[in-house]
Amino acid sequence: MSDPMQEIRASFFIECEELLEALHDGLEAMSDGAADGETINIVFRAVHSIKGGAGAFSLDQLVGFAHKFENALDAVRAGTLSVDDGLVRLFFKCGDILSDLVRASRDDEPLDTAITDPVIAELLEVTGDVGGDEEAAEEVDFAPTALSLDLDDIGGLAGADDAMADLALPDDLPPLDIAGEPDPDEAAEQETTYRIVFSPEPELYAGGNEPLFLFRLLQELGKVESSVEATATLPALDELQPNAALLTWTLTLVTNADVSAVEEVFEFVDGLCGLSIEPLSDDRPEHPGEESGLPAAETTTPIEAATATPSDPLPADPPGTSQPAPAGDAGEETEDPRPAAASGAKPVAKSATVRVDLERIDRLVNLVGELVINQAMLAQSVATAGLPSNSPVSSGLDEFQHLTRNIQESVMMIRAQPVKSLFQRMGRIVREASTATGKDARLVTDGEATEIDKTVIERLSDPLTHMIRNAVDHGLETGEQRVAAGKPERGTVRLSAAHRSGRVVIEVADDGGGINRARVQSIAEEKGLIAPGQSLADQEIDNLLFLPGFSTAAEVSNLSGRGVGMDVVKSSISALGGRISITSTPGRGTCFSISLPLTLAVLDGMVVGVEDETMVVPLNAIAETLTLSETDIRPLGPQTRVVLVRDAFVPLLDLGAELGYRAPRADYVGSIALLISQEDGSRAALVVDQIEDQRQVVIKGLQDSYGHVPGVAAATILGDGQIALILDPADLIANASGKSAPETALQKAG
Amino acid sequence: MSISVLAVDDSRTMRDMLRLALVEAGMDAHLAEDGQDGLEVLDQLKPDAIITDINMPRLDGFGFIDAVRGIDRLRNIPILVLTTESAEELKAKARRAGATGWIVKPFDPEKLVRALRMVTG
């Protein structure tokens, strides 16, 4: 295994993403008016945890920023800073910077301070901090280097009050160091003798501290001798309270360690005891060998045991604690109070997640793909052998098929991730677009838990970013226009995801003015994309947005005008096996709908034959299969036919002719057709020669080798080893001769 | 026999680091995600020491210490508080809640072990 710290570091950044998500959720809740304690606590904890982890890895820039952010949140928690829209907006901005810093830290690339400084300045303004020196000190505070106790006042720890006064340091001073190893250089120096007077108070025992342990640590510093006396009159043994603090120890320590090392031993009990540590000029211990300060009767009390030097056996539990010394030190009669540890109490670490290299999962995905192919081949062999379907081989094969499908689904689930992280990134895009355009906009998300293949999520980021920017920049009206139209001044961009019939549908909708179709058409005419004066249906005009070279921005804004048009968005979506469509209502807004396959690896397909070719049509595109009768088929122009399907006409598409395998038939009566149904509601009857089978196929991409082939999505390997093309029915229909004109005309008529 | 320690922190990174530090020091590390989880673990475990974070969901460090000190069986277990703040106020508060000592984050594994030895012997 690699360096465990490196692993923890990697896991820290994964945790950071989760924390950023929680932070974002909390801020969303705050922006919706929830400024309750728990919401603020969640936000605070997220920032606090990021800071804590970052400190461990010396990610100073991240620590520094998180600290300032945390201070502001703490002020909100403490009620000294009140939450308003402006503050929530600032916190969102801080959240964005924080995620930038997390990523920059992960990649070991410091973030430009030009990005962070303005936000830091805003933060300091609201918290009222002046920054400067104090901040520098704070950063030191979290550096992982060992910091040493550096108190000048050595002898001043005489009493509890003094001790507390000494420790009442400003927040920004370095923390006390409890490591305190003696400096090796000092080892050669002269030994010093300290006289330590230590009288515990009851709270010391109540808090779980134990003098014996402290004495042991002292012994590591040098030679210790101790004596003990009763602080008050000792009660009779049967009246003795276990937690009563009745003893005062006087210890002499001969050591070459620094006084701070001696003080550190008492760090946890400082303030809970009377304590004085004084160097003696005389090297000789003040009470040599004096260990009999108590009457013999009392030496049987456990307290007496604690006065013994640590190497001595421990006769019984000391008071104020049930913790004995480690077994090696304990006498035979000491009962071991740690059965849980001895029996190895069951591990309690909750591991909700396991991190696995994506490579390993992909290997598994590939193997499952092979398994699917192999199973198909086996099925083919069994069929060829002519075995009856009730034969053990056949039923075994059925079971095999079932298991293969289960494995495949499980593997796909490993690759699937909720779209939440993707959606949250879009929140930032809206905020940035809102600032850049001066339009007040907010993002509303829905269906964040919807899961899609990890690769799809990654590759959706760019197209979605572009669409969201467009929605704010082009979709939403200005505040004045909105108010004039009787809408709330603040525009809404809605991003949603949902599973719909085996696919994932992601929608980007704005509540803006809708597509200005007259303008779109005139721009398309100007750019020569369409013939002037052409009569187009609304939907066709909307689809002009996807044409290469189309841009509605009269003046290229600094936001959307990045040379990326909706055509690029469309091709990115197509590359994922997805489709995009638009619906727009004037005055109400525009909705872009992306439909994506759940996985990029395997699909359920219908295997069809056309001439001598075997092809696969994705099952989710097929609404039903038809056998065409004479009354169903109507001519529409010389080349075009439509089919009547339940009182609606759909265009007829001859697959063999479309792909150039044969000439169009003269007569389609008796032909088999697949009724293709698309997300946007358009349909077509795809004529095939025969339907062979319905099965799972492994998708083998063609894009890398052949580029985009119209009407073809990918290829697969069938059970007999033959390669079959997987069709893209939507693309096929769009590219079909005669295009969608008849369909549109019919829809209008219908 | 090795010392057993229950470490309670809602940050997975911090839990990982605590576990690493404890295991490397030859201790038995038991982990919990928050105070509530810690109490559940303590139903079946009596560790030699407890390390706990303060800021945690469900049941925070103060509430957790309070609860532990209220259980007879566990009353005297040393508890160290993990804190990023060196603020005395916080330490005083931890102490009032019944903590035995504290460790300032980010902690050096040696410091952690030494702090544990200060309270477990």
Kindly state the tokens that stand for A77.
């928690």
Together in a domain, A289 and A382: no
Together in a domain, A609 and A590: no
Residue A86: inside a domain: yes
Residues 136-155 of A with CB under 8 A from B: 141-142, 144, 146
Q: What pLDDT is stored for residue A495 in this prediction?
A: 94
Among A560-564, A671-675, A735-739, the least confident range? A560-564
Cα–Cα distance between A156 and A166 in angstroms, integer? Answer: 8
Confidence bin at A418 (pLDDT 50/70/90): confident
Among A292, A307, A322, which residue terminates a domain? A307
Residue A157: inside a domain: no
* Predicted confidence (pLDDT) at residue A87 exceeds the cutoff of 70: yes
For residue A347, give the chain B residue with the closest CA.
Answer: B30
Confidence bin at A352 (pLDDT 50/70/90): low
Cα–Cα distance between A626 and A674 in angstroms, integer? Answer: 6
As a whole number of Å, the end-to-end CA separation of chain B is 13
DSSP string, A455-501: HHHHHHHHHHHHHHHHIIIIISPPHHHHHHTTS-SSEEEEEEEEEET
Nearest by CB to A348, which of B30, B77, B100?
B30
CATH of residue A280's domain is: 3.30.70
Q: What pLDDT is stored for residue B39 in this prediction?
A: 92
Together in a domain, A442 and A589: yes
Give the residue extent of every domain in chain B: 4-108
* Mean pLDDT (whole number) for A36-62: 87
Contact call for A207 and B95, based on CB within 8 A: yes
Note the pLDDT tens digit of each residue in A615-629: 999 887 888 899 988
Q: What pLDDT is stored for residue A725 in this prediction?
A: 92
Which chain A residues are closer than 8 Å to B104 by Cβ? 175-176
CATH 3.40.50.2300 fits B4-108, yes or no: yes
Confidence bin at B50 (pLDDT 50/70/90): very high
* Predicted confidence (pLDDT) at residue A305 exceeds the cutoff of 50: no
Note the pLDDT tens digit of each residue in A134-192: 443 443 343 333 333 333 333 333 333 333 333 333 444 344 444 444 444 444 457 88
For testing contact with chain A, the best of B43, B75, B76 (most A CBs within 10 A) = B76
Together in a domain, A484 and A534: yes
Domain span including residue A730: 602-734
CB of A486 closer than 8 Å to CB of A588: no
Q: What pLDDT is stored for residue B85 in this prediction?
A: 67
Together in a domain, A96 and A122: yes
Together in a domain, A546 and A459: yes
> Could you give the dihedral angle defined by the CA atoms of residues B11, B14, B19 and B24, in that order, rounded to the nearest 10 degrees?
170
Q: What pLDDT is stored for residue A620 in this prediction?
A: 75
Q: Does A385 touch chain B (CB under 8 A)?
A: no
Note the pLDDT tens digit of each residue in B14-48: 898 899 889 888 888 999 999 999 999 999 889 99
Q: Does A319 touch chain B (CB under 8 A)?
A: no
Cα–Cα distance between A155 and A436 in angstroms, integer? Answer: 62
Among A203-217, A514-528, A602-616, the least confident range? A203-217
Among A399, A417, A435, which residue terminates a domain? A417
Q: Does B13 touch chain A (CB under 8 A)?
A: yes
| Of A50 and A295, more confident | A50
Together in a domain, A435 and A574: yes
Together in a domain, A498 and A509: yes
Together in a domain, A633 and A699: yes
Together in a domain, A559 and A631: no
For residue B19, give the chain A residue with the closest CA.
Answer: A349
* Predicted confidence (pLDDT) at residue A441 exceeds the cutoff of 70: yes
Residues 30-59 of B with CB under 8 A from A: 30-33, 37, 41, 44-48, 55-57
Together in a domain, A641 and A589: no
Confidence bin at A501 (pLDDT 50/70/90): low
Nearest to A568 by CA among A438, A469, A689, A670: A469
How many angstroms separate the Cα of B89 from the Cα of each of A6, A147, A167, A169, B83?
Answer: 34, 20, 10, 10, 12
Nearest by CB to B12, which of A15, A268, A338?
A15
The pTM is what?
0.54
Does the structure's ipTM exceed the value 0.90? no
Residues 90-109 of B with CB under 8 A from A: 91-92, 95, 98-108
* Predicted confidence (pLDDT) at residue A53 exceeds the cutoff of 50: yes
> Could you give the dihedral angle defined by the CA atoms of residues A20, A21, A23 and A25, in that order, rounded to the nearest 10 degrees?
160
Contact call for B13 and A178, based on CB within 8 A: no
Among A373, A400, A417, which residue terminates a domain? A417
Question: What average pLDDT does chain A have?
Answer: 75
Q: What pLDDT is stored for residue A245 in this prediction?
A: 78
Kindly state the tokens that stand for A118.
């303005």
* Mean pLDDT (whole number) for B96-107: 81
Report the number of distinct structural domains present in chain A.
Answer: 5
Residue A303: inside a domain: yes
Together in a domain, A371 and A486: no
Q: What pLDDT is stored for residue A601 in this prediction?
A: 67
Residue A449: inside a domain: yes
* Predicted confidence (pLDDT) at residue A422 exceeds the cutoff of 70: yes
Residue A181: inside a domain: no
- Residue A216 burial (CB count, 10 A): 20
